[in-house]
Structure 1
Amino acid sequence: MIQSALDHTEGPAAAPGPGHDGTGPRLTTTVPREYVHRASVAEVFLTDWTPLRDGRCSVLAEWPRSHAFFTPIERAFHDPLLVAETVRQAGALLAHAAFGVPLDHKFLMWELRYSARPEGLRMGPAPASLELAITCTEIGERAGRLTGLRYEAEIRRDGETVATGGAHYTCVPPKIYARLRARRQAPPDAGTDAGTDAGTDAPAGPVSPGRVGRTSGFDVVLGPGDAPGRWQLRADPAHPVLFDHPVDHIPGMVLLEAARQAAHALDPGAGPLLVTGVESAYHRYAEFDRPCRIEARDVPGADGTLRVTAHQDGEPVFTGTVTTRPVPRDAVRDSAG
């Protein structure tokens, strides 16, 4: 049985955060960047965690009012994809801090989802302070080591639930991962389009940033496709947020961003959108050296809902259901003023 800090409060994994010992004011900092698989401290959104029993714990987080990539929507709402990234980081934190998974183990994300209330995303005069109530629903183990985790998160702001989410991942030792990825292709040099150096038909340039809800082509992950509702994925390892550190495959958050941008591109006349919900599944690795096609279509009878898929070599690598809502008119009016 796993000796988890969720059930045992002894040892370094369960060490309290600053000020928890009652000797002074409770200070705020971020959790170690290594625990959330980030190279830059600026990309760490978790600030603390409290081990609890029975597969439950509390994680604290903060959303900034400004960010280089998760930019505010109409200067009035936090980027909803912050919800997804916060839920992802919480799962990685638990693996290392609560279950003792070594930092050199590799993680394979299988599912990631969230649903957010638009009003809960509104920006205030200070960064948003959040509490995630985490429940571990499935804990995989082998020989006393964590092999996988499925968990649910309820995200609260000022005591009110503003979003929910969850994820499922597995984690493997470096030697096993090396065998799984023995035939992988090295990513292209930073600053090049995925697939260009491999002689594939990767797109020569991004679609118009305004068409996908972006202001800079550097942040666009969609290139022109061969039919309406189709695009080619663009993955630039030089991007400092989407590629915070070197990887041997295209990260899941890049595919999630592609789904968000496809929602804008599918209905460019809809105006500013909030992606209030995502149900995503990852089926296999998305490789750098081969074209990856993104497709999106509206779900009949479900206003503001679309189905997004990513295919590579004729096989699905990602499927997702994306729910959007127009930014409230009063927010657009206020930001314009």
Structure 2
Amino acid sequence: MTETETRFPAPSSALTFDRTVARSHAHRRALGEVFVADSVADGDSTFYTSVQIPRAHSLWYDRTTVYHDSFAMAEAARQGSFVILHQHVGVPVGLPFSMQRYEFDVTDREAFRDDEKNPLQGVLRYEIVSRVDRSADFSDLTLAGDLTVDGRVAMELSADVVFLARADYEALRAYQLGRVAASGPDYTAAPLPAAAVGRRDSRNVVIGAPVAVGSDWDYPLLPDRRHPALFDHDYDHVPGPFIIEAFRQAALDTAVREGMLGTPNAMVMSCSSHFSQFAEFGAPLECRSTPLDPTRPGTARVELELRQFDKVLTVGALELAELTGHEDPFLNRTEARR
């Protein structure tokens, strides 16, 4: 279905794909990193955004299969939640926030197949299912929704977001940053080979070789702040998208090492993440990966923990579906000789 043929129920039918929203509303600095095109409200608690993933992108197009990266749409949905909160809920831009939980499930894998002609686009519907205002600048919000691609529900999502008064946030961060006694390098390990984590470009590898710890694997994290997508702007802590990408890569490598997958060419079918504390730069970060029994045939399931200062900062679980037989022919094309 082409852009002009795409139809969604009202009021989302008013959405356009002509331009991006303001980059500040999507919490991005580079225009090319904004994946939200438009938004509209349907009452006080239901909202729609139009989202589009570029066909060429330094991170999200770095894949080896004919399927678009489900993480790319998850990033678009993450941006979409911020756009809704700023444009329709009245949350001011610049108010400190913390994404405390983020989850998604792919409900239609074929909706992510790349037709090699059009960018992947769809409509994201979010509902505010819970809101607790503790003060003028302190709110707890729970969002839940789904992503529709060509009239098919392709993904279901939910998230918990906490907004803080700036003075409270600055006091909290001053206390937490005091734990880093002396700023050291962000990482010292060498990255795994790109192919080991389903990538082609080594610059997109964010973990090093693991160490076996019983039945688990511990991976060092490599937060290289030169990365143009994962570190699109300055952060005072290691950002959530980087952590989730590290979880994905650790899960892929673990699944292959444990024989759960025959190849790292796989799609993330479900992802859950819960953030309890900020991860800091200048101190070692590691991801502990634990293989689990799968819940669906043909998948691998891995539990993950982000650790720093001998504490668990983030926990998550990913389910992966192997994509053997769905490799991208454009990767290794051969030119006909004349």
**In 2, Cα distance between the equivalents of 1:327 and 1:300?**
19
Q: 1:198 aligns with which of 183, 188, 193?
A: 183
Q: 1:329 aligns with which of 325, 331, 335?
A: 325
**In 2, Cα distance between the equivalents of 1:330 and 1:198?**
44
**In 1, Cα distance between the equivalents of 2:129 and 2:221?**
33
1:141 partner amino acid: D
Provide the secondary structure at the position in 2 that maps to 1:180: helix
**In 1, Cα distance between the equivalents of 2:31 and 2:153?**
27
**In 1, Cα distance between the equivalents of 2:123 and 2:186?**
45
Provide the secondary structure at the position in 2 that maps to 1:136: strand
Moved more, 198-207 or 85-94: 198-207
Provide the secondary structure at the position in 1 that maps to 2:223: coil
Q: CA deviation at 1:270?
A: 2.2
2:206 aligns with 221
2:105 partner amino acid: S
1:2-13 equivalences under 5 Å are none
**In 1, Cα distance between the equivalents of 2:174 and 2:330?**
53
Q: 1:32 aligns with which of 22, 25, 32?
A: 22
Q: Do the aligned residues in 1 keep the contact of 2:81 with 2:126 (CA within 8 Å)?
A: no
1:119 aligns with 110
2:168 partner amino acid: I
2:76 aligns with 86
Q: CA deviation at 1:75?
A: 5.0
CA deviation map 1:250-276 (0-9, x unaligned):
001111001110122113442411112
Unaligned runs of 5+ in 1: 1-15, 187-194
Q: Do the aligned residues in 2 keep the contact of 1:84 with 1:112 (CA within 8 Å)?
A: no
1:300 aligns with 2:288: no
1:180 aligns with 172
Structure 1 outlier segments of 4+, above 6 Å = none
1:254 aligns with 2:242: yes
Q: Do the aligned residues in 2 keep the contact of 1:30 with 1:44 (CA within 8 Å)?
A: yes
**In 2, Cα distance between the equivalents of 1:213 and 1:40?**
26
- The verdict on how the C-alpha distance between 1:29 and 1:334 changes in structure 2, with shifts beyond 3 A counting, is closer
1:257-272 equivalences under 5 Å are 257-268=245-256, 269-272=262-265
Moved more, 75-84 or 160-169: 75-84
- The verdict on how the C-alpha distance between 1:333 and 1:220 changes in structure 2, with shifts beyond 3 A counting, is closer
1:70 aligns with 2:60: yes
Q: 1:234 aligns with which of 214, 222, 226?
A: 222
Provide the secondary structure at the position in 1 that maps to 2:233: coil
Q: 2:194 aligns with which of 209, 227, 242?
A: 209
2:6 aligns with none
**In 2, Cα distance between the equivalents of 1:272 and 1:85?**
20
- The verdict on how the C-alpha distance between 1:217 and 1:334 changes in structure 2, with shifts beyond 3 A counting, is closer
TM-score, structure 2 as length reference: 0.83
Unaligned runs of 5+ in 2: 1-10, 257-261, 334-338
Q: Do the aligned residues in 2 keep the contact of 1:185 with 1:288 (CA within 8 Å)?
A: no
CA deviation map 1:44-67 (0-9, x unaligned):
111111111141111111111111
**In 2, Cα distance between the equivalents of 1:145 and 1:135?**
21
Q: CA deviation at 1:154?
A: 0.8
1:140 aligns with 132
**In 2, Cα distance between the equivalents of 1:330 and 1:226?**
31
Q: CA deviation at 1:279?
A: 0.9
**In 2, Cα distance between the equivalents of 1:304 and 1:247?**
33
Q: CA deviation at 1:333?
A: 6.1
Q: Do the aligned residues in 2 keep the contact of 1:95 with 1:146 (CA within 8 Å)?
A: no
1:313 aligns with 309
**In 2, Cα distance between the equivalents of 1:126 and 1:201?**
38
Q: 2:144 aligns with which of 149, 152, 172?
A: 152
Provide the secondary structure at the position in 2 that maps to 1:59: strand
1:12 aligns with none
Q: Do the aligned residues in 1 keep the contact of 2:65 with 2:323 (CA within 8 Å)?
A: no
Q: Do the aligned residues in 1 keep the contact of 2:266 with 2:321 (CA within 8 Å)?
A: yes
**In 2, Cα distance between the equivalents of 1:155 and 1:40?**
24
Q: Do the aligned residues in 2 keep the contact of 1:304 with 1:324 (CA within 8 Å)?
A: yes
1:281 partner amino acid: H
**In 2, Cα distance between the equivalents of 1:155 and 1:301?**
25
**In 2, Cα distance between the equivalents of 1:201 and 1:50?**
40
Provide the secondary structure at the position in 2 that maps to 1:90: helix
Q: How many residues align?
A: 308
**In 2, Cα distance between the equivalents of 1:154 and 1:129?**
13
CA deviation map 1:17-41 (0-9, x unaligned):
9x96xxxx96711111100110011
- The verdict on how the C-alpha distance between 1:334 and 1:42 changes in structure 2, with shifts beyond 3 A counting, is closer
